[in-house]
Structure 1
Amino acid sequence: MAKSRPVRGATLNEASSRFNLPGREADGDWLDARADLDDAPPPLRTTVTVERARTIITRNQSPDISFDRSINPYRGCEHGCIYCFARPTHAYLDLSPGLDFESRLFAKPDAPALLRAELGKRGYVCRPIAFGTNTDPYQPIEAEWRITRGCIEVLAEHDHPLTITTKSNRVTRDLDILAPMAAKGLAAVMVSVTSLDPRIAMTVEPRAPHPEKRLQAVRQLADAGVPVFVSLSPVIPHVTDHELEHILERAAAAGARTAFFLPVRLPHEVSPLFRAWLDAHFPDRAGKVMATIQSIRGGKDNDPNFHTRFRGHGPWAELLRTRFRMAARRYGLDQQVLRLRTDLFRPPSGPQGELF
């Protein structure tokens, strides 16, 4: 059984086999040599590397996603959520989707300037930009780097709509920008709450804020007039599914407008990482958890197909949907999705235009 590192999500740090990268031991340096002697994994330090991106707006044409563009100020995420579907992206950097993903991070400090330039391009068509679609824009390093805030400042300056998905109460730090944008119909925030049990949350999402802090953030956002939604994604069978109704009740009490959920997804390298995590933290139910996930995913660990990848199928998936619908209706969380305005957008004038 793999040993868990203190306050980390993954128990492994293996390189991806999809790209024929060389295998390596967890962490691969003197710290692991020390662990062999001390019989305990040492703390793993977080490092941040500057990435000089050429563009910052990522486009997608997925038919089952409600947005067509997004911004990710960071690569990797220190929250360390074991189920994170973005983990495989670290393989493209010749790094492990395991511990590397949550400890070897990349920041894009040029993001606000790149964003301003892209908004000013001829022919740009305004549609809401989504933050938090890959890694959390308010993960701990945002406190120092403030790249997410810089991007929001640019969007606010030009009345461009945005959505934010986060597990962090740090989003409330930017209420001075988000509240005025929301008053114009330009901003909405989705807060992720997957468990109210601090012991489970600390295991599933080891460096994300306490669930109560997230619910407090929902209340602060709602009180400031920012449309706020709650995501229960992902629901992990036999680990967090029993909390579904209670989370919806607490979300409604905190002022959320609506909510949604997705069954857990295990694409590419996430599956072996998740299995190892189950063996380490929930050995008594690991087989049951995986059997139920496979029943939702057509007999496999993951279903990559459009539409069904977010819904799942079979009796277990249908039971989850029924429970969710009933609870959402009971607590008034079955309202229509908010439509953000795009007609207020004013593109950057450019250096020449600013002369007049």
Structure 2
Amino acid sequence: MFSFDFNDNPVKLYGIWPQTPFPVEVSIYGVCSNQCFYCFSNLNRAAAGRKPHEKNPIEKVIAGMENAMSDAKNPVGYFLRNKYPVCFSNTTDPFMREEKIYRCTEAFLKYAKKRGLPLWIQTKGNVLVEEFDRYADLIVPGKDAVYITLTTLDDDVSRKIEPGAPVSTARLELVRKLSDRGIPVVVACNPYLEDWAGDADAYCVAVKAAGARGVWLEQLHFSGRQAEEIASAYRGYVQKANVFPMFHVKRLKAWYAATEYNGLDFFPSPYWDSYFGDRAMFPECADPAWFGEAAKLFTVNFDFVRRIHESSLNGAPVYGPDFEVTKGARPVAFSWRPVEEFFKEIGLENPILKTAPFWVPFNAKQVADHREFRARLGDEAPLYEILRYFFNHPEDCPNFLWYAAMGQILTDFDTNTYPTNSSGDRIYVYDPSTRHHGEREHDLSTYMRKRSDYVHL
């Protein structure tokens, strides 16, 4: 009997957790028929030699969620019970054309509505565009929000790069229909390529007119194995990928100016936002108020980086309106203790949870060994200790607090080691004056010479 390829599990912790505010991902379908040439999901499957098949999996999805919620120590269940929105789905489009055959998404939306589970729905539209009335009442204002990918305003370009998806004008109309029903919509220029997106002002005017609340921007990038699977017709685009930094400063300034002028939230990922004074209001443009009073978003990384940023000038803005660092801004040194104190301050619970679900492929560039993770934490551990492990092992998970460009791990380049404090925790430096191109770790010798210049948390 055939089944969809879920990377073994249709209900899981989000693959880039804990950087995302949505800890749980649900993938209804195991392969996407939008045929976007840059699709990391399908490229990863091709690179691994997997050939996914089709079968209605909705029973497996719902059973997995119910089993997780009935298990007090299952982290997926913990986040579901506490009404953290479900990312539905980052892996494949839940409204791709196969939905007309299987109606798995329809069944899941009915289940989520009955259960009161808030959803962060990621889609290009497809069946939702064609059969909007069939699904409209299943997407609930005050519980759900929708993320619609719009890489370009040009229908001819979208036909070429995303041949199985609706054209751009149809997606803008979907934004309008959802917004008219009170559903918050974020438009994602993801992946961003200047050739596709065009003028920032024109883009923002169009999506604002359709009713979007924000713009989410991310660069085009491929791993080596993914690039090998891309058709030769797109090799020119591949050559523009993996260039760091992908966003030119002037280009990003134009997007900040355009979104702010049009009353849109803007989120170019925490890494890039830190270059501009952490101006984004919410991670992934997602306002917690959209999901209801009972819902929570896992924004602890985003919030803590903002706290560090404010500490560099005792709460005053570090960056002026021209995005230049304000004179007197100081670097901030911190280790794990202030992070844990911050968790307590904001009321983050510290339940004992099973550790295995936290070990996911955080980053395609990482080749991490889970044996130390298991040896340190065992089968179960408090949530704080799980997060502390990743704080101290950026080689396993580079997407926690240090995902801000200004946050760099302290390194002794003479010995090629990472210094630790008396508790065995690594030390990080948040330097608002950093203007480097590429990853760079903070040098211990510089830190020791200028220690008095730092704010110490």
Q: Where on the TM-score scale, by shorter chain, does this alignment land: which range?
A: 0.5 to 0.7
State the alpha-carbon separation in 2 of the partners of residues 118 and 318 from structure 1: 47
State the alpha-carbon separation in 1 of the partners of residues 136 and 173 from structure 2: 14
State the alpha-carbon separation in 1 of the partners of residues 127 and 105 from structure 2: 11
Question: Alignment RMSD, CA only?
Answer: 2.8
State the alpha-carbon separation in 1 of the partners of residues 102 and 200 from structure 2: 35
Task: Give the Å deviation of 1:229.
Answer: 1.1
- Which consecutive residues of structure 1, in runs of 5 or more, have no partner in the other structure? 1-47, 280-285, 297-312, 346-356
Which residue of 2 is the match for residue 325 of structure 1? Answer: 256
Which residue of 2 is the match for residue 194 of structure 1? Answer: 151
3-state DSSP class of the match of 1:233? strand
Task: Give the Å deviation of 1:132.
Answer: 2.4
State the alpha-carbon separation in 2 of the partners of residues 109 and 63 from structure 1: 26
Task: Give the Å deviation of 1:151.
Answer: 1.2
State the alpha-carbon separation in 1 of the partners of residues 31 and 55 from structure 2: 7
Residue 136 (structure 2) aligned to one of 175, 200, 205: 175
State the alpha-carbon separation in 1 of the partners of residues 100 and 122 from structure 2: 17
State the alpha-carbon separation in 2 of the partners of residues 139 and 161 from structure 1: 21
Does the Cα contact within 8 Å between 1:115 and 1:154 map onto a contact in 2? no
Which residue of 2 is the match for residue 255 of structure 1? Answer: 211
Task: Give the Å deviation of 1:344.
Answer: 7.4
3-state DSSP class of the match of 1:259? strand
State the alpha-carbon separation in 1 of the partners of residues 230 and 9 from structure 2: 32
3-state DSSP class of the match of 2:219? coil
Equivalence map 1:113-192=2 (5 Å): 113-115=62-64, 117-118=66-67, 120-123=69-72, 124-125=77-78, 126=80, 127-171=84-128, 172=132, 173-178=134-139, 181-182=140-141, 185-192=142-149
Does the Cα contact within 8 Å between 1:227 and 1:257 map onto a contact in 2? yes
Residue 271 (structure 1) aligned to one of 227, 243, 266: 227
Task: Give the Å deviation of 1:295.
Answer: 2.9
Does the Cα contact within 8 Å between 1:160 and 1:342 map onto a contact in 2? no
State the alpha-carbon separation in 1 of the partners of residues 221 and 126 from structure 2: 25
Instruction: Give the letter aligned to residue 215 of structure 1.
Output: L
Equivalence map 1:176-325=2 (5 Å): 176-178=137-139, 181-182=140-141, 185-237=142-194, 239-274=195-230, 276-279=232-235, 286=236, 289-290=237-238, 292-296=240-244, 313=245, 316-325=247-256
Instruction: Give the letter aligned to residue 248 of structure 1.
Output: C
Task: Give the Å deviation of 1:258.
Answer: 1.0
1:75 matched to 2:23? The reply is: no
Provide, for residues 153-186 of structure 1, a one-character-per-residue CA deviation record: whole Å limited to 9, x for no partner: 11111111111010015333411111xx32xx21
Does the Cα contact within 8 Å between 2:25 and 2:88 map onto a contact in 1? yes
State the alpha-carbon separation in 1 of the partners of residues 178 and 19 from structure 2: 27
Does the Cα contact within 8 Å between 1:56 and 1:114 map onto a contact in 2? no
Instruction: Give the letter aligned to residue 110 of structure 1.
Output: E
3-state DSSP class of the match of 1:64? coil
State the alpha-carbon separation in 1 of the partners of residues 100 and 293 from structure 2: 29
State the alpha-carbon separation in 2 of the partners of residues 321 and 106 from structure 1: 43
Task: Give the Å deviation of 1:62.
Answer: 2.7
Residues 142 and 49 (structure 1), Cα distance of their counterparts in 2 relative to 1, 3 Å cut: farther
3-state DSSP class of the match of 1:157? helix
Percent of aligned pairs sharing the same letter: 21
State the alpha-carbon separation in 1 of the partners of residues 66 and 47 from structure 2: 27
Point out which structure has higher relative CO (alpha carbons under 8 A, 6+ apart): 1
Higher-Rg structure is 2
Provide, for residues 318-343 of structure 1, a one-character-per-residue CA deviation record: whole Å limited to 9, x for no partner: 33321211111121112653112373
State the alpha-carbon separation in 2 of the partners of residues 116 and 222 from structure 1: 29
Provide, for residues 244-280 of structure 1, a one-character-per-residue CA deviation record: whole Å limited to 9, x for no partner: 432221110000111111011212433134472325x
Instruction: Give the letter aligned to residue 190 of structure 1.
Output: Y
Residues 271 and 170 (structure 1), Cα distance of their counterparts in 2 relative to 1, 3 Å cut: same
Instruction: Give the letter aligned to residue 277 of structure 1.
Output: A
Does the Cα contact within 8 Å between 1:153 and 1:177 map onto a contact in 2? yes
Higher mean alpha-carbon deviation, 104-113 vs 167-176, is at: 104-113
Instruction: Give the letter aligned to residue 145 of structure 2.
Output: A
State the alpha-carbon separation in 2 of the partners of residues 273 and 91 from structure 1: 7
Instruction: Give the letter aligned to residue 293 of structure 1.
Output: A
Task: Give the Å deviation of 1:88.
Answer: 3.7
Which residue of 1 is the match for residue 20 of structure 2? Answer: 65
Residue 108 (structure 1) aligned to one of 57, 80, 96: 57
State the alpha-carbon separation in 2 of the partners of residues 131 and 213 from structure 1: 21
Which residue of 2 is the match for residue 29 of structure 1? Answer: none
TM-score, with structure 2 as normaliser:
0.52
State the alpha-carbon separation in 1 of the partners of residues 293 and 3 from structure 2: 32
Residues 76 and 52 (structure 1), Cα distance of their counterparts in 2 relative to 1, 3 Å cut: closer
Task: Give the Å deviation of 1:141.
Answer: 0.4
Residues 344 and 87 (structure 1), Cα distance of their counterparts in 2 relative to 1, 3 Å cut: closer
Residues 111 and 245 (structure 1), Cα distance of their counterparts in 2 relative to 1, 3 Å cut: farther
Residues 86 and 196 (structure 1), Cα distance of their counterparts in 2 relative to 1, 3 Å cut: same
